[in-house]
Structure 1
Amino acid sequence: MSALHAAPPRPLWRAALASSSCGPSASVFWKRSRWPAIWARTPEAALKTALQEVCGFTGWPVGHAFIRKRGRRAVMESTRLWWARDGVEAAEFSALSEAITFTAGVGLPGQVMAEKAPVWISDVTAADNFLRAEAAERCGLRAAFAFPVMVGREVAAVLEFFSHKVAEPDEAILRTMAQIGVQLGRVIERSRAEADARARNAKLERMVKEAEAQRVAAEAANRAKSAFLAVTSHEVRTPLNAVLGLTEGLARTPLSSKQQGLVDGVRESGGMLLRLLNAVLDLAQIEAGKMSAHMGAFDLRSAMDAVGRVWTPRAKEMGVDLIVDLSGLPEDCALVSDKGKVEQTLVNLLSNALKFSPAGGELVLVVSARRTRNRYQVRVEIIDQGPGVSPEDRARIFEAFEQTDSGRQVGGTGLGLAICAGNMASLGGTIGQDEAPDGRCRFWFEFPADAGTAVEDVDPVEVLEASMDRPLRVLAAEDNAANRQVLQVLLDPFDMELTLVEDGLAALEAVQVNAFDLILMDANMPRMDGATAVRASRALGGRSSEMPIFMLTANVFAEDVRRYRAAGVDGVLKKPIEVGELFAALAGAAARIDSPAPLEQAG
């Protein structure tokens, strides 16, 4: 037996018991005991103190505590906490008590648990529902009472006490014990709350650590993905630049109709590959939350009309009649938005609609804009006669790589609609699919835009030719032989002095000897990369530091562009070369020439 020894009962308690016909009161017990100290203790310490104080107060020689096991089933088990007066031998009884568990209604602890109230047994050796009667008799135990420790409506523990004499029930003692059980229950309830709080805090700490580990892993994976995309982009764009650039040059030469058809096929296939590459990179930017809009002023009517002119012949080739309805647009509809994203979204939706439009069918493009003060709300609808999209598929078709069964049949990557959704999100707009009033399939997107002043579209080739009062002197640093050939093919038709070098160090040496109207600098080159060459050129001072420099590179992620800008470039051109952008840069260089006289040596 694990006993807690204490001094014999105080004479005052015995006197109180002897003089009271109804036993000790709760107030007497409270004043004479050390009960208030329980508030600052653990449940185990509180139960120990309660056993000692109750035994000391009542004069009963043995006390024992049961605790309810946590779980769905109500079961009481021994705490192995006992109090026994010196000289009391109850080892057999204590061993049996510690070996038995009690369910509701079974034995003294089970009866208290079932009734949720104190229970008194005058003589345990004669009680039918006292499982330890024989052991109690051998140890000389007779009368018993027990009371519950209540936590809310639950019996959390049971304290039992035993006397060597048969005793009739004392209602005053039982009432007092019931109140003590409530007080003990508060200690246990507080302890449970603290334990639950510690467990929750520990769980939260684990979750925070796991979330941090997942964040670190996600960032590492994202960096690895970005590095992979950067390398892949560069390695694909470099040869693709040669394919498209040389094809463009070949298309400018006299060709038979058959040869022209072959060239157009190569150009179209290369363009499809470039669009696919751009789609993957766009999707990576969307997933990383780095998709940004490049705002500029343009005339919406002109832009939509241009898209209609380009796609009408293509639709006719597929046996589809494309109808463009711009009646909802004002004649002057200049707005500020990302023209590229608007056009890309429209083209993706038109291409998608054509896939599903049956031959002999009709495809309708409706564009409208509602102006309120200095803001437009633009709506674009593409209505086709395809099979449409089921309501349950309408949300997921705008997620990456998600396709309907009919979508997989007509082919595609499942990226186009996801990129459209990303474009609209970056513009503060929305996109969706539903049925037109006549039941046909309708895709639509809307976006807000500030009113602006449209910039007239000009042909950069015409501007370049009009600006060239003398040959332009152009330096191009490019380590890839095929890409050097592309530049030669594209610039040969114009009166230019083109100097080609194979790395950044050679370019730096060239600008120290000659002056150039424009420098085109690749990024990844041996001996010295492009960004380093730009910084070194800017550091030379004089005219060398003022020459216009454009990066011409396959590395065109946003972070790459920021790095080039920080190095001191004036602009960035991407590979594969977009002829319009290249000629626009050349035209800008021609416009900056102060004098028609040839440039002097840079000394």
Structure 2
Amino acid sequence: MINKNFIYILLAVIVAVGILLLDTTVPLGVADSILYIILVPIAFFTKNKKFIYISAIAGTLLTVTGIFLSPPGGEIWQVITNRSLTLFAIWVIAILCLLERGQSEKMKAIHADLEKNIQKRTVDLNKSNTELEKESAYVQLHKDVAIAANEKIELQDTLKVCLSKICAHANWPVGHVYLVPNQTSNWLEPAKIWFLENPSRFDTFRKISEATPFGPGMGLPGRVLVSKQPEWIIDVTKDTNFPRAKVAENIGVKAGFAFPLLIGKKVVGVMEFFSVEAEEPNRDLMKVMAEVGIQLGRAVERQWAEEDIQNSNERLRRLYQRLEMIREEERTRIAREVHDELAQILSTLKLELSLLDKKMTDDKSSLRTDTQMMLLLVNNTIQTVKRIAMDLRPPILDDLGLHEAIQWQGREFEKRTGINFISEVGFGNIELDIERSTAIFRIFQETLTNILRHAKAKNINVLMHQEDAMVTVKIKDDGIGITSDQISDNKSLGILGMRERARAWKGDVNIQGTHDQGTTVTINIQRN
């Protein structure tokens, strides 16, 4: 390709020769030498100061040479004036071109510096944006983990969500969790909670991991257990303290890192992640994971607290159930003793008084009046003893079953209070063990007591039916209706006792009330 400067130089030479030939043929009086000015603008387009100088000098020499080579003509002062003006014009234009070229080069230099600065700023800005995006991703990851750790879901679901989030952030295909089996253990056992991008590809590694517990210092989880800090292995296949790599020839993973789940200073679990390629440690990621481990430690702590509460409640429930059984046994024993011992003694006393009364003659009328009064008192006492024995433990519950006991209790309640009692049975005879029958009967008694105290009812309807393995007793009154605040009041020991009795046998008590339309109490108890 021909250089543009060469073309401009060639053009200047041709123009100079042409003007020179013209100048040598035209008389001196004609101002044709002004044409030499053209050489300077042609040199300007070469964008080279040296060529501008050369063209100005060449124009000057040709202008002066034309004085000697051109044919005579005109006055001498005209010739000198014309040639002087030509020289002046040549150098004025040359100077202007040089100034413009200098300014152009300066602007070019400034532009180059500006471009350089822009490129540098762009690189810095891109780097800053990359760092900002990286930090934003870490912040978002931390936020997602914090939300998952504080949601009221099972610990297993929380850990699954966090494994997925971290693997997606790090772009690593494998995530797994080790947990301590209890609050006092110093060993890590596989929790069998995974994130696997390709389950079939990592099946061998999964099976090996699920069969391998770790103690302090053993393998990657054991290192974290001891250091209580995140740990990184560039290539697990070349690491001397990675036992799982020795079990199979190809476990499918290379780089690995793990971090502890902490409650205070105690490691309660370890999350580990693996890549299929060897990678250098990412310090920023490890730093963020250390903070994530504290968040997840709180989730484990909350799970432990919930388990402690559940275990405590279960122990209290069993204790309550045992106390109720002891109370029922004691009631049964006292009722039996009252019925068998005291009632018999009173019956014997009544018999003796009756015999004594018959032996009284007419002349002992005052004594006979006393014996009649004593007979009346003894008879009333016998009835009171029978009522006490029935209240302590109605024999009908043991002898005839739950349905007859509820019917009897309802009729007795109707006699005492005047509240109409209606009973409906949706099934034939049902076999319930004595403990479950007692639980339903005592809840029924407590419901009747509450109706008498609070409901201002005129009618009570009791419906009993069974469905599958559940026995249901529904008691409905037409009173003023219980409020939702009263139902949820933790200070209501009667309602709490009813629910605990049912819960002891895997049942429940549901209470619903409508203002001025009554209350419905539904007792559900599982069969034997």
Q: Which has the higher contact order (CA 8 A, sep 6+)?
A: 1
TM-score, normalised to structure 2, is: 0.42
TM-score, normalised to structure 1, is: 0.37
Higher helix proportion: 2
Higher strand proportion: 1
